[in-house]
Structures are given as structure tokens and as C-alpha cells.
Amino acid sequence: MTRIHISEVGPRDGLQSISRVMPLEAKKAWIAAEAAAGVPEIEVGSFVPPSLLPQMADTAELVAFAKGIEGLAVAVLVPNFKGAERAVAAGSQKMSLPFSMSETHSLKNVRKDHVAVLGEIRAIAELVAAQPPSTRPHFEVGLATAFGCTIEGPVDEDNVVRLAAAAIEAGAAEVGLSDTTGYANPAQVKRLVRRVKAEVGADRLNTLHLHNTRGLGLANALAGLEEGITTLDASLGGLGGCPFAPGASGNIVTEDLIFMLEAMGCQTGVDLEKLLKVRGIITDALPGEPLYGFTPDAGLPLGFAQVTA
């Protein structure tokens, strides 16, 4: 039986993409409810300057709160070494640094070219290695715009493979492939996953971060699974997008992804009926904010039974 690890990124990727700021208590309720539904990992925020993303100003408080939830892996995004220092100080258990394969996007997103980002990766890896083993966070590099860029257009796959290897050489524990702009298609996903795994090792690429901009999110997820991907990022209600990638709309919908996986016979450990009720927290805290997903609208089919351990 295949076990797929779900990482909920809505509290970070979803909320950074909208102008309103969700109240701290509502964020806590969201995180607690998803954890209670069995979601094993939640990206609770990002350590970026509040002046740039005020939606993320309370990330340290959310890390402290989420760490109190038994069994939950607490993840954050860090844009640079300073962000990583804050993440380590807060006690984050997993850190992800976005490394855009499009250098133009990298300059827009984190204001650094490829050489500078690799320098940040080395510095963060040294910081992580200096922490006591018991509190050392897992350090992943997300290869953003790996499938295409709204600014540059096509991204050279040879460069993605080369930069993936460079990130590992610089000290990242693993890399993930991110379809930041919703450009990917299933054939491309299969090809690039296969190529990066061959370059860095099968155990160094486990995660896909996909967007549903053109309706191919679940198809791309399935393509990744067929190539050995075991972790999939998703966002409740499909919230999300990159503020520095014009036209990049939301992530794949957590509810739809889990329904697909469970219907296929994969195990997620997530109680889908409980998860569907979590949307109410978002609609109450952010009235009028568009949410997406077919499963929440249609409901679960008659006789649907989830996989149990």
C-alpha cells in the first residue's frame, strides 16, 4: 500500500497571495483543525520581512503554537540566511528555501542571482549543521519555476538538473520541484523528476509543489507519483500563488488531492470528512475570499471508504 505524505501550504503560500491578513487566532484554528484531521505537515508561514509580507508577520508565534500539536511536522519558508536564523530561533522543524531556476524570477523574488542564492544555501547548511541533532531542522531547497516562468518563458531542463546538483553540493538535504507558475504538464513532470533523481539520487527528490493554473495540477501530481514522488504540497481551498510571478494562480486543492489519492487506494492518514469542514474556518475569517475544489462542492460519493492502515 502506497503512503503519500501531504504537506499543507495554505497558511503560507495561500495567505501570502491575498491582500487581507488572517487574524492570528483564525490561523491557529486552521492549523489545529487540519492537524486533527490527520494532515501530517503544515507550512505555517514564512520568515520574510513583515514590511514585504505583513500576512506573515506572526510566523514565529505560529511555529510555537504548532509545535505544541503532537505528531505535526512544522514547516516554514525562508528567503535567505537571515530568515533561516529566525526560523532556527523559533524552533522550526523544516525549512524550505526557494531557489528559482529562472534567474529573472530569482532577482524579482529574493533579489539574488543564482550564484548568490547558492551562497545562501551554503551558509544556511552550515547554520543547520551547527544545531544540536535533536533540534536540527530539515533543510530543503525548492527549485521554483522549474517548469517555466511567466517572465522568461521556457526554462532549460539542463539548467534545472545542474542547479539541483549544485544545491545538494552546497548542503541542502534534498530538493523539491516547484511549478510556481502553473506551466507544467504530465510528460514534462515525469521527464524532469526522472532526470533530477538520476543526477542527485532518488532519495534527494521526494517533493512536488504544484499549481493548478491551467487545470493540470492533479494530472501532474499523478505523473510525479508514477516517478516515485512521495510528498505532495497542496493548499486548502486552492489558495495560493506567487506575488512575484504574474498570473500564477492557486495551488492544487488539498481536498481534491486527498480524494484522488484515497480513491486510488493510496494512504494519506487524513480524514477527508473532517478536512472538508476546515474550510469553514477560512470562510469565516476571510469572507468573500474565493475558494476552489470540486470535492467540497460535490461531496463524497455514495459508498466512498477511505484507506485504513
> Annotated active-site positions, please?
242
- With vertex at residue 209, the alpha carbon angle to CA 207 and CA 214, rounded to the nearest 5 degrees, is 140
Please report which helix (H) or strand (E) contains residue 86, including its range. helix 81-90
Which residues are within 8 A (CB) of 233 and not within 5 positions of it... i.e. 6 or more apart? 7, 8, 9, 13, 43, 176, 207, 208, 209, 210, 251, 252
C-alpha torsion angle, residues 86, 49, 78, 292 (rounded to 10): 130
User: Of the candidates 56, 22, 33, which has an alpha carbon nearest to the alpha carbon of residue 285?
Assistant: 22
Q: How far is Cα 208 from Cα 193, in angstroms, rounded to an integer?
A: 9
Q: How many residues does the chain have?
A: 309
User: Cell for 220?
Assistant: 501532474
Number of helices (H) and strands (E), helices first, in the chain? 11, 8
> Cα 160 from chain centroid?
18
Secondary structure (DSSP) of 154-209: S--HHHHHHHHHHHHHTT-SEEEEE-TTS---HHHHHHHHHHHHHHH-GGGEEEEE
Q: Are strands 138-144 and 5-8 parallel, antiparallel or unpaired?
A: unpaired
